[in-house]
Amino acid sequence: DAGVTQSPTHLIKTRGQHVTLRCSPISGHKSVSWYQQVLGQGPQFIFQYYEKEERGRGNFPDRFSARQFPNYSSELNVNALLLGDSALYLCASSPSGGGPQPQHFGDGTRLSIL
Amino acid sequence: GQQVMQIPQYQHVQEGEDFTTYCNSSTTLSNIQWYKQRPGGHPVFLIQLVKSGEVKKQKRLTFQFGEAKKNSSLHITATQTTDVGTYFCSKTSYDKVIFGPGTSLSVIP
């Protein structure tokens, strides 16, 4: 069975642009979460979506938004990119949205802002 | 307030030596999860602890949850080069998942 898949694997953008990152969860998983990981730090929680609704939000500005589709895949959008948005963006899926569950991570999208 | 702390930040051990990383919270934890991230890879789930004083073992790895549910530890017996990576603890709080800063383990062959 395929794991969590993310696209693209790498992306280079310039300041002020916007970006869309995509994630497909493990088959049967209905919850998707997004994380930002800066080199040398732990993943920082951005959003959790379950059944197409936002279930949790981290301390990120409104430039960050996300959505989940009927097939449970998800997109993370970031507007007005800043240099500080350069990071590895990880998507994780879990079977449901209820209570603490193991997060199954994809390989991430490496975003570089010039 | 909601953070989890981990010590040490880095640990270099000789292959065969033991290794322990500690995770601490100022507030009571309903649960704690441990993940391992190899260099260049993504975090991989290891275990979840939910009960006070709980101890779980996976081969050479031993996980403990403190009696007061404010701390946890991961102990590796007789480290191997395959244990290299960063070990993160995380907690779920009000629909947010909070990861610690991690302990980076290097194993010298």
Tally Cβ neighbours within 10 Å of residue A62. Answer: 7
∠A40-A43-A49 over CA atoms, to 5°? 165
pLDDT, position B72: 98
Tally Cβ neighbours within 10 Å of residue B94. Answer: 7
Question: Distance, in angstroms, between B101 CA and closest chain A CA?
Answer: 5
As a dihedral over the C-alpha atoms of residue B66, residue B105, residue B61, residue B83, rounded to 10 degrees, the angle is 160
Helices (H) and strands (E) in chain B, counts: 0, 11
**Residue B15 in 3-state DSSP?**
coil
Identify which of A67, A77, A78, A7 has the alpha carbon closest to the alpha carbon of residue A32.
A67
Q: What is the pLDDT of residues A84-110, one digit of tens each?
A: 999 999 999 998 866 788 899 999 999
Show residues of chain B in contact with A104, CB under 8 Å.
45
Residue identified by tokens 């302990």 is: B103
Q: Using the beta-carbon criterion (under 8 Å), do B41 and A107 form an inter-chain contact? A: yes
Show residues of chain B in contact with A58, CB under 8 Å.
96
> Please, are residues A46 and A75 in contact by the beta-carbon 8 Å criterion?
no
Q: DSSP assignment, residue B9?
A: S
Please report, in tens digits, the pLDDT of each residue of chain B (109 residues total): 568 999 999 999 999 999 999 999 988 999 999 999 999 999 999 999 999 999 999 999 999 999 999 999 999 999 999 999 999 999 987 778 899 999 999 999 9
CB contacts < 8 A, A to B, total 57
Which contiguous run of DSSP H or E holds residue A79? none
> Please, are residues B19 and B75 in contact by the beta-carbon 8 Å criterion?
yes
Q: Using the beta-carbon criterion (under 8 Å), do A103 and B33 form an inter-chain contact? A: yes
Show residues of chain A in contact with B33, CB under 8 Å.
100, 102-103
Which contiguous run of DSSP H or E holds residue B107? strand B103-108
CA A92, CA A59: separation in Å to the nearest integer? 18
Task: Give residue A16's pLDDT band: very low, low, confident or very high (50, 70, 90).
Answer: very high
Q: Using the beta-carbon criterion (under 8 Å), do A56 and B96 form an inter-chain contact? A: yes
Question: Distance, in angstroms, between A101 CA and closest chain B CA?
Answer: 8
Q: Using CB atoms, which residue from B31, B88, B92 is nearest to A42?
A: B88
Q: Using CB atoms, which residue from B45, B96, B102 is nearest to A42?
A: B102
CA A110, CA A57: separation in Å to the nearest integer? 21
> Please, are residues B77 and B107 in contact by the beta-carbon 8 Å criterion?
no
Q: Using CB atoms, which residue from B95, B99, B100 is nearest to A56?
A: B95
